[in-house]
Structure 1
Amino acid sequence: MTPDDPTIADEKYTCFSDEERLDYMEERIREKLEDYDGYDFSMRQVRALSIFFDLAQEMRGRDMFYAVCMMIPRVLFDLESRIYILEEEDTFVLGGTTTDDCYLEPTRTWDDELTDHVVRSKDTLYIPIFCNPKYVEMLPFEPPHNIIGNFVIRPCGSLAGHDQLFLEKYVNRIGFQLHHRIIRARNREHIQFIKSMVQDIGHNVIVPNMFFKLYFNRLKRQIEDLHVSTERVLTMMSGSDDADWIREGNQLARTASAIEAQYQEIYSHYEITSMFLETLLRRRHFEEGRYVLQKHEVNLFTSVLRPQLERYSQSFEERGIEVSVADGTSQDQMVRLVMDRGLIAQVYANFFSNAVKYTEEGELPDGRTGKFVSYGWQILKDFFAKDHPAIKLWVTSSGPPLELEDPLKVFQPGFRAGNVARESGTGRGLYFVRQVVELHDGTVGYRHNEFGNEFYFILPFEQEEER
């Protein structure tokens, strides 16, 4: 760790208020002023640092950056230099040199000169280049000792200790700038990969998936033909007195009905899976680096809620969970909303998935005990502003309250309550819910009420004629 390592900015500072953040920065600035007073750098050395920062921002490309790093010591201090970059955990590659020494090896490994501390060998100074340890996980590999290279300077046989301190500080600045350039280059490669992957998704996932619908349609027609043939067989056998033929005919009818029921179940899962695939893998998500909504007016219950209820019905039944519509909510009431059907469907999928895993025994206000899940919605007049109504949608599951100081903490990425550790999970489901709802200009929330744990979201009550 370098002498002026900035990792003092610990994670706890991300929780500062605005005033605390400003106070902390004032303190750090005053500490830096004291540090530079102690360094007592010459005017030429101060200018060297300023020129480095100016040119590092101006020059594009790794090679030009290396040239900046090496030419400042030559022009201002008559020092020759070369720079080694750690390309793998144990391999340094020569990035550039201001001399034409033919004996220089293009690659080197860790040794007595390229090490984790400053080394002076005869008239040559070897200074390790440190990365920013706060962002080490963003590098292609974890560098040993947080070192990403080595800066070699000569002639330094008569270099004073104060001048060596300046060179070490100078190389520290090189390290942080180099680290950021490596990250930027990696991000550019990542973006290019994503663009290529999006094209592959369309070609290898979305388009082939569309053919399944064609196959399902063909299968549906064949099932319809099977029903017609079955009816004919039963009609032909209706006048027969042969009990075996009648029994076989009835069995054929039951088999045809079972095949159709199985087809309907498989096709329902296919529709949901296809919708999720096409929603999550939209090209614009990747191109814009965020979820992009495709909003249309849909029937809330038939298009969004009911398919998810059917999807999780078997899981609820296996765990002995009774599912019902909340008091005051009428499924016969047609509620049409403008929303991104695919993303809001996944909001419900997350709610129901959590309800399957975390619903516990509880007692309802009417005295019944057991495991219960209810869902519902309510129109909220003038919720966002006058003449701007909202709709509140919720899923409630029986059980003790979550151990939370802040109810919204459950919607933070990676958060898992202390009393749900028995079930597997990533802690990202409710964070996804929050992202989707906020994209719809809505809000999310959690509360424990007399029925159990209620997770809800509130959306603007938009309809086509109002848009």
Structure 2
Amino acid sequence: MQRDETPTGDIFFSDLEPGNGIAPEEARERVDFFVRRIREKIGAYEKYQFSKRESRALNVFFDLAQEFTAKQDLWVLSVVIPKVFFDKEASLFLLNAEKRLEWRCCSIKGCFGTPPEDAPEPPLVEKPEVRNGHYLLPIKGNHELVSQLPFEPERDVIGLLDITPGTDISEHEKLFFEKYANRIGYRIHNRLIASKNQEHLEFIRSLVQDIGHNVIVPNMYFKLFYRRLESRIMLLRDIATKFSEFTNDCALDDPERMEACKRLQTDMDAAFAALMGQYREIYRHYEQTSMFLETLLRRSHFEQGRYVLEMRPCNLRTQILEPQLERYRARFAERGIEIAAGPGTQANPDPQVLADVGLISQVVANLFSNAVKYARSPADGSPPRVAYDWEVVSAIGERPVEAVKVSVFSTGQHLAESEASRLYSEGFRGANASSEYGTGHGLFFIKEVVGLHSGAVGYERTEGGNLFYFYLPVQADD
């Protein structure tokens, strides 16, 4: 079984892919559903029997709500429509952080200053009702989007529309104003969410500057510290060399002393080698972690709200795969996992690809991380095994393009057919993942990043285990 997934971005809604995994019959059912809903709405409007004036009032509200985007303009529009079309005064109240109604605007004085003296806080009604000469209508938000509001409204009520005089409103007009209040609610709700999103974006922009100033720049100084540490370690090496020369001269006539000096020299050399080995391992970890930090926290990602690639030609083996393999080599060893290179690594030892090195390195790191966690001994009882490989191909699926196919194989039980189809979905974790820590984000991240490179991801059940792979084009698309 082989599954390839080639994402193609939607320029308007980046979270949606063509079809979005919907089967043809499901897509058709969705069309039929909206046909029914439209016909139901036609029947409802025929039942409402709105007059020409009422229909125009709704149309004008929609047109001007789209034309003017400031929140105060929407408030003014909401209270002025009843005044112009029906000779009714109106006041708008919205919930505040304490879930109390707060005056926002009225058709007499607009949205300036404090509420009129004759406009005390009204009761928060759940259904339209006439009270003390006022027709009070609850303003409800979009039920599907209530969770995105900065507060939790009860029964989706986010405000109130006060129409006066309310004693001479007919039952038909009450129905109209109820529908009108619903439309105000949806517009105000969407405007509130847009405002919160704008605040969120401003916070992200500020956060990016903080990250650059407080994380990325200070992290660069670690490189200087590592260089200084390396020089101190090399100084120990020089001291050991001088010690060897000194003891050789001093112990020429004393074989026993000479032997003791040699043992001491051997211990010093071993200590130096161990110290230097640990230093190199720590420094490699620092380099990779720094690259991941600088890649993921790249300012352009936050400014554009998506991953922004920094593409350049690179050597897949030396710049991407081998550094990640070295990071995980000790973890493979801890679990007794054998590592092997596939035949493609010998046939083409230095494949060239066009890639964002930082992001694709994290793709490979995710595959190795999964291999560490889920590789198991094969049926013959031999140690678990992981093999990496690559090959140059002339097409990605049915798309003719020169690319490199990178794969990571691990021994173990095959994934179920039902799981294989959801592997690259956000948050999905297989039945074999319960004993290992994870979030279900890794493969989704791989799919997203590879898709941005115009590549594809896939999975295949092979003899003795599971094969995960991805394609990277050698050159940029025309």
User: TM-score if structure 1 supplies the norm length?
Assistant: 0.89
Aligned identity (percent) is 41
Moved more, 85-94 or 344-353: 85-94
* Aligned partner of residue 44 in structure 1, secondary structure: helix
Tell me what 1:3 maps to: none
1:370 shift after superposition? 3.4
Answer whether contact 1:404 1:417 (CA < 8 A) is retained.
Answer: no
Structure 2 Cα separation of the partners of residues 423 and 382 of structure 1: 36
Distance 1:205 1:31, change over 3 A: same
- Give the drift of 1:186: 1.2
Aligned residue number for residue 117 of structure 2:
102
Partners in 2 of 1:183 and 1:14 — Cα distance? 28
CA distance 1:40–1:87, change in 2 (3 Å): same
Question: 1:103: how far off?
Answer: 4.3
Q: Choose from 451, 457, 462 the match for 2:464.
A: 451
Any conservation in 1 of the 2:50–2:176 contact (CA below 8 Å)? yes
Q: How does 1:408-427 map to 2 (within 5 A)?
A: 408-427=421-440
Partners of 2:372 and 2:193 in 1: how far apart?
A: 41
Compared CA separation, residues 387 and 147, structure 1 to 2 (3 A): closer
Deviations 1:26-73 (A, max 9, x none): 221111001111111111111111111011111121111100000011
For residues 418 and 382 of structure 1, what CA distance do their matches in structure 2 show?
33
1:244-276 deviations in Å (ceiling 9; x for gaps): 554444333322222211110110100000110
Aligned equivalent of 1:19, options 28, 43, 47: 28
Which segment is superposed worse, 414-423 or 348-357?
A: 414-423
1:356 paired residue number: 372
CA distance in 1, matches of 2:399, 2:295: 33
Residue equivalent to 2:227: 217
**Where does the alignment leave 5 or more consecutive residues of structure 1 unmatched?**
1-12
**Residues 219 and 131 of structure 1, relative CA distance in 2, 3 Å threshold:** same
TM superposition shift of 1:91: 2.5
C-alpha displacement of 1:386: 9.2
- Equivalent residues, number: 446
Q: In 2, Cα distance between the equivalents of 1:159 and 1:387?
A: 69
Higher mean displacement: 389-398 or 410-419: 410-419
- Could you tell me which residue of structure 2 aligns to residue 342 of structure 1? 358
Describe the superposition over 1:403-448 as per-residue Cα deviations: whole angstroms up to 9, x where unpaired. Answer: 3437452112222223423323222111110111111111001111
Which of residues 279, 287, 302 is equivalent to 1:286? 302
Q: Separation in 1 of the partners of 2:317 and 2:59?
A: 63
Whole-angstrom distance in 1 between the partners of 2:361 and 2:267: 39
Measure the CA separation in 2 of the matches of 1:422 and 1:251.
42
Secondary structure of the structure 2 residue equivalent to 1:269: helix
Alignment of 1:202-351 (within 5 A): 202-239=212-249, 240=251, 241=254, 242=257, 245-330=261-346, 333-351=349-367
Partners of 2:409 and 2:466 within 8 A in 1: yes
Matched, 1:180 2:193: no
Q: Distance in 1 between matches of 2:154 and 2:178?
A: 19
Greater relative contact order (Cα < 8 A, sep 6+) = 2
| Gaps in structure 2 of 5+ consecutive residues | 1-19, 110-115
Contact 1:437–1:459 under 8 Å retained in 2: yes
Give the Cα–Cα distance (whole angstroms) in 2 for the partners of residues 324 and 337 of structure 1. Answer: 22
1:135 aligns with 2:130: no
Contact conserved, 2:317 with 2:349, CA < 8 A, in 1? Answer: no
Q: Which amino acid aligns with 1:274?
A: S
Q: Secondary structure of the equivalent of 2:383? A: strand
Aligned partner letter, 1:316: F
Q: Is the 1:41–1:166 contact (alpha carbons within 8 Å) kept by the matching residues of 2?
A: yes
- 3-state secondary structure, aligned to 1:447: strand
Q: Specify the alignment match of 2:131 in structure 1.
A: 121
Contact 2:351 2:404 in 1 (8 A): no
Residue type of the alignment partner of 1:174: I
SS in 1 for 2:161: strand
Instruction: Give, in whole Å, the separation in 1 of the partners of 2:125 and 2:417.
Output: 48
Q: Does the CA-based 8 Å contact 2:88-2:163 persist in structure 1?
A: yes
Q: Deviations over 1:375-426 (max 9, x none)?
A: 1111113557898322111111122222343745211222222342332322
Cα deviation, 1:282-322, whole Å, max 9, x if unaligned, reads: 11111111111112222212221111112122222222222
CA distance in 2, matches of 1:386, 1:311: 34
In structure 2, C-alpha distance between the alignment counterparts of 1:157 and 1:15, rounded to whole Å = 52
Q: After the TM superposition, which of the residue ranges 415-424 and 57-66 deviates more from structure 2?
A: 415-424
Distance in 2 (CA, whole Å) between partners of 1:382 and 1:122 is 75
Partner of 1:62: 71
Question: What corresponds to 2:14 in structure 1?
Answer: none
Specify the code of the residue in structure 1 equivalent to 2:281: E
